[in-house]
Amino acid sequence: MLRSMYSGISGLKNFQTKLDVIGNNIANVNTYGFKKGRVIFKDLMSQTVAGASAPGGDLGGTNAKQIGLGASLSAIDTMHEKGSTQTTNRTLDVVINGDGYLAFSDGANKYYTRAGNLYLDKDGILVAPDGKKLLDSSGATFPGVPPEATQLTIGQDGTVTYILPGSDAPQVLGQMGVTRFSNPEGLTKSGGNYFTVSNNSGTPKDDQVPGATGNGTIESGFLEMSNVDLSEEFTEMIVAQRGFQANSRIITTSDEILQELVNLKR
* Model pLDDT for residues 125-158, shown as the tens digit of each residue: 999 999 999 999 999 999 999 998 988 999 999 9
**Residue 1 — pLDDT band, cuts 50, 70, 90?**
low
* Domain range list for the chain: 2-47+67-80+228-265, 85-224
**Residue 176: CB atoms within 10 Å:** 27
User: In the predicted model, is pLDDT for residue 257 greater than 70?
Assistant: yes
Q: What is the pLDDT of residues 232-256, one digit of tens each?
A: 999 999 999 999 999 999 999 988 8
Residues in the chain, total: 266
Element (H, E) at 262: helix 230-262
Q: For residue 204, which amino acid is it?
A: P
The 3-state DSSP class for residue 13 equals helix
Task: Give me the DSSP letters along 213-261.
Answer: TTBPEEEETEEE-----HHHHHHHHHHHHHHHHHHHHHHHHHHHHHHHH
Contact yes or no for 32/193 (Cβ under 8 A) = yes
Instruction: Please give the C-alpha separations between residue 101 and each of 105, 113, 123, 208, in angstroms, as whole numbers.
Output: 13, 5, 24, 10
First to last CA, the chain: 20
